[in-house]
Amino acid sequence: MERLITFEGTEGCGKTTQIRMAGEYLGQRRVPFIITAEPGGSALGNRIREILLNRGPYEINAEAELFLFMAARAQHVRETIIPALRSDKLVICDRFSDATLAYQGFGRGLDIDFIRQINLFASASLKPAMTILFDLPAEEGLMRAKKRIAQNGKEASAEDRFEQETLAFHRNIREGYLSLARGEPGRFRIIDGSKDISAVHREVCVHMEAFITG
Ligand code: Z5A
């Protein structure tokens, strides 16, 4: 079984916070691992990330957006994820193929079956063995993300292409993730992301422990 674990959820659901804490936990358990993220995880992926997340002096339509995410994934999988798995490392990835189904499929309304097909191509048919989904109301996640942007003092135009989307868009994505989880209950673990950070971390540890000892 591929030792790829993905963390997924809507904007501001707490994935990044929880991945950092999961990394500390794996370190204490002396499990070799890497943490990586999409879009990104390679030099090319990071360049594509800048195009995708920052608002530039151009429009990106839904179809172009889909292929940019796929290009970043194709590079990331072959340059970073597969080599790490081959050297027996556990790979924790902040977003992966499910994010494309949720955002470009359920969010933007592109064809889900087509996305599934090109996901397989981009990811070299790699599937996560376990996906932890942090579920919370879209309003709450957006509030957290906006607070964080304000705290970081970012310009309103930076890294906000997705934050600027309507509440309905983010609600569709939440529903999309929940429907993906219902379709594959053996792979998904759903955690209530509205609980406090340490309560969520305890639940993550239960799933990580079951995974590494299972
Ligand atoms: N995207 C896509 O459309 N298609 C794809 O195929 C892929 C991605 C792969 C990536 O942006 C964007 O790309 C993403 C989907 C799209 N856009 N959106 N939306 P990103 O990587 O910059 O951002 P993100 O993945 O959405 O994550 P995020 O906004 O950084 O949020 P997060 O990682 O889920 O949460 P966090 O950073 O851990 O926490 C956010 C804030 O909440 C922070 O201040 C924390 O201290 C706080 N926090 C965290 N947990 C809690 C709890 N439990 N209680 C209270 N406060 C908390």
pTM: 0.96
**What is the distance between the alpha carbons of residues 63 and 126, in angstroms, rounded to a whole number?**
23
Domain count, the chain: 1
**pLDDT number for residue 55:** 78
Helix, strand or coil, per DSSP, at residue 105 = helix
156 pLDDT higher than 70: no
Q: State the pLDDT confidence band at 11, using cuts at 50, 70 and 90.
A: very high
**Any ligand 1 atom below 6 A from CB of 196:** yes
Q: How far is the CA of 214 from the centre of ligand 1 (A)?
A: 29
**Any ligand 1 atom below 6 A from CB of 46:** no
Q: Whose CA is nearest to atom 23 of ligand 1?
A: 11
157 pLDDT higher than 50: no
The DSSP secondary structure of 38-60, one letter per residue, reads SS-SSHHHHHHHHHHHS--SS--
196 pLDDT higher than 90: yes
**Any ligand 1 atom below 6 A from CB of 173:** no
Strands 130-135 and 90-94: unpaired
Question: Residue 133 has which token pair?
Answer: 């989904």
**pLDDT number for residue 177:** 98
**Any ligand 1 atom below 6 A from CB of 13:** yes
The DSSP secondary structure of 126-179, one letter per residue, reads ---SEEEEEE--HHHHHHHHHHHHHHTT--TTTT-TTTTS-HHHHHHHHHHHHH
Domain span holding position 59: 4-213
* pLDDT tens per residue across span 57-82: 889 999 999 999 999 999 999 999 99
Asked if 119 and 41 count as a contact pair (C-beta separation under 8 A), the reply is: no
**What is the distance between the alpha carbons of residues 145 and 16, in angstroms, rounded to a whole number?**
12
Query: In this structure, what CATH number is given to the domain that contains residue 137?
Result: 3.40.50.300
**What is the distance between the alpha carbons of residues 27 and 89, in angstroms, rounded to a whole number?**
12
Which atom of ligand 1 is nearest the CA belonging to 173? Answer: 19
Average pLDDT, the chain: 94
Q: Whose CA is nearest to atom 36 of ligand 1?
A: 14
Residue 129: φ, ψ to 5°: -80, -30
Pocket test for ligand 1, best of 148, 154, 172 (most atoms within 8 A of CB): 148
